[in-house]
Amino acid sequence: MIMEKRKLFYADAIKEALAIKMRQDDAVILFGEDIAGYGGVFGVTKGLLAEFGETRVRNTPLAEGAIVGEAVGMALYGLKPVPEIQFSDFVTTCMSPLVDLAATYHYRIGTPLPITFRMPSGGMMNIGNFHSKSLESWFVHVPGLKVVMPSTAYDAKGLLLASIQDPNPVLYLEHKKLYREIKDEVPEGYYEVPLGISRVVREGSDLTIFTYGAMVHLASRAADKLAHENIDVEILDLRTIYPFDEQGIGHSFKKTKRAIILHEAPKIGGFGAELASWLEENYFDYLAAPIIRLGSKHTPVPTNPVLEKNYLPSEADVIEAARKLMKY
């Protein structure tokens, strides 16, 4: 009899990773706003309190600065805290302990801080400016922080396990739109997806779309349509925004010589600008066309569904950019 391969939703893969690591290591502690009995706003941690108890799965006040400060203290005393910032937007209220203290501690003092900050991120859910932002590029700018954003359930589990094991502070950004929208094959048991290694989603020869998070799925839909126009698109899922996979990115760009950098965050000041500059500095001789960046508009995230759809990058934007590149 052929056994069907197991599939998990993105959210369930994250919960499974947390449970596996907590069974394996008593030093792993979860805490955040409403994460215990309620299971968090998106239900990702639901059921963990019953297995691990209130000492290891604990609610906190609505105080992100205190959450980050407590995480630093825990890590200094040998624990591996996994705090949740209920929405990544609220990280603005704890920038000083995160950026000034946690990110720099190993450099200043010599003590590693193995903290994994879980942060639901991104939009596409019509819940407005205070619950929909994509802020990853802010933290790429901060030495001492690693920034991760998975696009599949398989990667969500493996990258989270690798993040918790990492001795550095890691910002683990979970795209909230993907929680119950995507489902893919996820092995049982423990495995890690190494930080800093990209994934080739689709092989191609004409151009590469460099992307991550929910935009991977948009890029795949656009690539399917472009195939009908005989435009052969390669898609590279960065998975780790920083440190990014220099070797994998360079290999793909040398092959296709054309690049679209796609992310949900606003185009201006987004990570795409850094990556485009890096490609130009290192692979100028391979350029066959200008590097195109696609991101959201430079406005607050709208709540109205029609406005938010217009705010975000679209399949049509990707298709138009690909056609433009192929004219060179």
Per-residue pLDDT tens for 121-158?
999 999 999 999 999 999 999 999 999 999 999 999 99
Q: Is residue 154 part of a domain?
A: yes
Over range 98-102, report the average pLDDT. Answer: 97
Closest-CA residue to 56 (of 21, 99, 27, 87)? 27
Judge if 154 and 237 occupy the same domain. Answer: no
Task: Quick: pLDDT tens for 163-204.
Answer: 999 999 999 999 999 999 999 999 999 999 999 999 999 999
Judge if 147 and 273 occupy the same domain. Answer: no
Q: Where are the beta strands (DSSP E) in 272-316?
A: 292-296
Over range 259-282, report the average pLDDT. Answer: 98
Domain end residue (candidates: 185, 208, 229): 185
Map residue 23 onto helix, strand or coil: helix
Q: Which domain holds residue 302?
A: 199-325
pLDDT at 3 over 60: no
Judge if 126 and 64 occupy the same domain. Answer: yes
Task: Quick: pLDDT tens for 230-257.
Answer: 999 999 999 999 999 999 999 999 999 9
Give the pLDDT score at 280: 97
In sequence order, which residues have a C-beta less than 8 Å from that of residue 109 and are 6 or more positions away? Answer: none
Judge if 244 and 310 occupy the same domain. Answer: yes
Domain end residue (candidates: 129, 158, 185): 185
- Local confidence band at 1 (pLDDT 50, 70, 90 cut-offs): very low
In sequence order, which residues have a C-beta less than 8 Å from that of residue 299 and are 6 or more positions away? Answer: 311
Mean pLDDT of the chain: 97
- Local confidence band at 5 (pLDDT 50, 70, 90 cut-offs): confident
CATH number of the structural domain spanning residue 264: 3.40.50.920
Domain end residue (candidates: 155, 185, 215): 185
Question: Exposed, middle or buried, 314 (CB in 10 Å: 0-12/13-18/19+)?
Answer: middle
Number of domains in the chain: 2
CB 41 within 8 A of CB 86: yes
Q: Is residue 219 part of a domain?
A: yes
Judge if 219 and 132 occupy the same domain. Answer: no
Judge if 120 and 245 occupy the same domain. Answer: no
Residues annotated as catalytic (active site), given as ranges? 131
Q: Is residue 112 part of a domain?
A: yes
Share of the chain above pLDDT 70, in %: 99
Judge if 264 and 133 occupy the same domain. Answer: no
Place of tokens 């009995």: 37
In sequence order, which residues have a C-beta less than 8 Å from that of residue 163 and are 6 or more positions away? Answer: 116, 146, 148, 170, 172, 195
